[in-house]
Structure 1
Amino acid sequence: MKEKPAWSFNGYAGVLIIACLLAGTVFSFLEQQFIIGILCVIVAVTLGSGITLIQPNQSAVVMFLGKYMGSIRKEGIVITVPFSVRKMISLRVRNFNSNRLKVNDVNGNPIEIAAVIVFKVIDSAKAVFDVDQYEQFVEIQSETAIRAVATKYPYDSFSDAELSLRGNAEEVSNELRVELQERLKVAGVEVIETRLTHLAYSTEIAQAMLQRQQASAIIAARKQIVEGAVGMVQDAIMQLEKDGSVELDDERRVAMANNLLVSIVADQGTQPVINTGSLYQ
C-alpha cells in the first residue's frame, strides 16, 4: 500500500455549486417542474456528501465501498468522492515517552532505561491500512527497539575502544533511531530523533554496582598512571645517559628506575633521603 492523491476539487466552488442547485430546486418547484427540482436536489446532496474540511498538517484517507481511493493533504475545504468514508490522519510531529524499562546490558547487569521518540506520519495509506492502530504500533516497536539496543552495550566502560550506554549516549541514540526507523517504515512513520531520558542501574544492585564502578575506575586510573610512569622513567634514564653526564651500570640503573617509579606512582609525596657521605670513607 502506498499513498496516492484522491480526486477532489475546490470546496468553495463546490459550495457555490450546491447553493445554486438548491436555488434551482426552489425555483423548479415554484414553476412546478418537479423532475428538474428532484434532479437538482439529488446532485446537491451527492456533492454535499463529499464536503471535507482538512486542517493544516492533516491528511484525509478516502475510502469508497471498501476501496482506497487516495489521500488529500490540501488544507481547507474540498469536495471529494461522494458518499465516501474519510479518516483523518495527523501529519504533525509528535513525541512518545517510553516507560522506564528494566533490561540487562551486555554484561548481564540489570539496568533501567527510557527514551523519547520524535516521529511523524509521512505515508497516511500505510499508517491506516498496513498496521492496526499505528500509534500503538509505534509504542510497542519503540520499546522493543530500546530493549534490543540496550542489550548490545555495557552500562559503563573505562576503555575508549568500547562503547557504553552512559559514555556514548549520542552513538547509542543514533543506532536506536536507525533500528527504530527500520521497524516503523512499514507503518509509514519517519523517526526524526531519539534521545535517552533515563539510564541507571536497577535499584536492587545500584549500591553494589556503584562500588564496582568505583573500583573499576581506580584500576583503570592506576593502569594509566603506571604506563605513564614507565615511559617517564625510560625517557629520564635515556636522557641522562645520552648527555654523558652520568654513567650508570645495570645495578644503579635498576635502583634509579625503582626510585623514580616509587616517587611518580606513590599517592603521597615521597620523602627523599639525602646521602652526604660517610666519615670513614
Structure 2
Amino acid sequence: MGSNIGTAETTARSLSGFTGVGLILLLVLAGLLGLLSTGYVPSAGADVLLLAGAGLCGLGVLLLLRGLATLQPNESLVLTFLGKYSGTVNQDGFWLVNPLAARKRVTRRLVTQEIGPLKVNDAAGNPVEIGMVLTWRVAEASRAVFDVENYPSYVTAQGETALRSLASRHPYDDEEYRESLATRQAGAARQAEGGVLSLRDGGDRLTATLSADLRERMALAGLVVQEARLSHLAYAPEIAATMLRKQAASAVIAARRTITSGAVAIVEQALNELEDRLGGVLDAERKAAMVSNLLVVLVGDRDVTPVVNTGTLYS
C-alpha cells in the first residue's frame, strides 16, 4: 500500500576507508614537508605560501578523518548534506563518505518487542487483557529516519492500534459471543455465517491477520514485520472471577448432561431386558418407580442407601 510513498532509498557515494587513510598520510607528509621547508627558501613570500599549504593539508586531514566511518553487519548510515538526503551506505566495512554530510546510524537487526498487555473490550463487550510479541526490523533506513518522527515509538503506537483493532473484532470466547448475540436477538444471523473466530481459539489464523495488518502499517516507515504473536490473553481482573465461576458452571452442566444422557440409555436398556426376561410389559406405575430409582442411583453424586420394599406398590 505505502511502498511507493516516502523517501526512496538510494546508495550514497563512498570510497574505501583505506583509500581515505592513504590520502590522509599523503597530506600529512605534504604538510610536514611544507613546514620543514620554510627556513630554507630565499623569500618571505615563499615561506607564507608553504605555511598556508601546510595549514590546508592539516584542514584536509581533519576533513578526511571526519569522513571515515565503520559499519557493522546489518547497520546503515544515512547521509544528509545541507538538509538534503544524499544516500545511504548499507554495506558493512570501512568507508570514506562525504565529511560535510550529517550522519545517522540505523540498525537493521531484528528487534523483539513486547507490546501490552492492554485492556480492551472484545467483540462481545467484555473487558480483556491482551498482549503480543512483535519481531521487526528496518528494511529501508531512509524511510525510517525521514518519513516518521521516531520509528521505535511509531512501532509501539501502531502495534497497540493493531492489537486493539484485533481484540475489538473478535470475542474472547466463541460461546460467550453467541450468548451475547442471542441476548440481543441477533444470534441467528451470525450463526448463519458459519461461526465466529475467537481470540482464545483463533491460533494461527489470528496471528496471520495480525501480521498482515501490521505489515501494511509498518511499510509506510520502511519497516518489515517478521512475526506478530499473541503472548497474553485473559479476562480483565474485574470480571475474571465471575467468568471463572461461569466456566466452572458450564463444565458442571456439560458433565451432568453427559451423565444424564448415559443414565437414560442404561435405564432404557434395563427396562427392555427386564421385560424380555419376564415375558411381559410392566405397567406404567412400576416403570416410573423403577426409572426413578435407577436414575437416582446412576445420576446422584453420593452413595445411595437402598430401601427394601417388602410389600407391594398397591398396599
TM range (shorter): 0.7 to 0.9
How far, CA to CA, are the matches of 1:41 and 1:116 in structure 2?
52
- Once the two structures are superposed, residues 176-228 of structure 1 have per-residue CA deviations (whole angstroms, 9 ceiling, x without a partner) of 11111111111111111112111111111112112223344566678899999
Report matched runs for 1:178-189 at 5 Å. Answer: 178-189=212-223
- In structure 2, the CA distance between the partners of 1:196 and 1:51, relative to structure 1 (3 Å rule), is same
Distance 2:213 2:259 in 1: 40
Instruction: Give the TM-score normalised by the residue count of structure 2.
Output: 0.68
State the alpha-carbon separation in 2 of the partners of residues 226 and 28 from structure 1: 107
Give the AA of the match of 2:34: S
- Quote the offset at 1:79 in angstroms: 0.8
Partner of 1:88: 105
Distance 1:228 1:9 in 2: 83
Aligned twin of 1:119: 136
Counterpart of 1:20 (choices 5, 26, 30) is 26
- Equivalent residue for 2:198? 164
- The residue type equivalent to 1:9 in the other structure is L
Match of 1:108 in 2: 125
What count of residue pairs does the alignment treat as equivalent?
269
Name the larger-Rg structure: 2
Q: Map 1:163-242 onto structure 2 (within 5 A).
A: 163-217=197-251
Q: Structure 1 residues 44 and 114, CA, compared in 2 at 3 Å: closer, same or farther? A: same
SS at match of 2:125: coil
Gaps of 5+ in 2: 1-6, 38-45, 177-194, 266-286, 292-297, 303-315
| Aligned amino acid, residue 239 of structure 2 | I
Instruction: Give yes or no for contact 1:158–1:217 (8 Å, CA) kept in 2.
Output: no
Q: Which residue of 2 aligns with 1:52?
A: 69
Cα distance in structure 2, aligned partners of 1:133 and 1:81: 25
**Residue 130 (structure 1) aligned with residue 162 (structure 2):** no
Matched residue SS, 2:32? helix
Q: In the alignment, residue 97 of structure 2 is paired with which amino acid?
A: T
Q: CA RMSD in A?
A: 4.0
Aligned to 1:139: 156
User: How much has 1:41 moved relative to structure 2?
Assistant: 3.2
What's the CA shift for 1:135? Answer: 0.5
In structure 1, what is the Cα distance between the partners aligned to 2:240 and 2:62? 68
**What amino acid does structure 2 have at the position aligned with 1:4?**
T
Q: Give the CA deviation at 1:7.
A: 0.7
Letter in 1 for 2:233: L
Hey, what does 2:165 align to over in structure 1? 148
User: 1:228 and 1:75 mapped to 2: Cα distance?
Assistant: 72
- 1:62 deviates by 0.4
Alpha-carbon distance, 1:157 to partner: 2.4
SS state at 2:174 partner: coil
Could you tell me how far 1:169 is from its partner in structure 2?
A: 2.8
**How far apart in 1 are the matches of 2:156 and 2:67?**
34
Q: Call closer, same or farther: CA 1:265–1:3 in 2, change over 3 Å.
A: farther
Is residue 158–residue 216 contact of structure 1 (8 Å, CA) maintained in 2? no
Amino acid at match of 1:74: Q
- Structure 1 residues 265, 145: CA separation in 2 closer, same or farther (over 3 Å shift)? farther
SS in 1 for 2:61: helix
Q: CA 1:106–1:24 in structure 2 vs 1: closer, same or farther (change >3 Å)?
A: same
**TM-score, with normalisation over the residues of structure 1?**
0.76
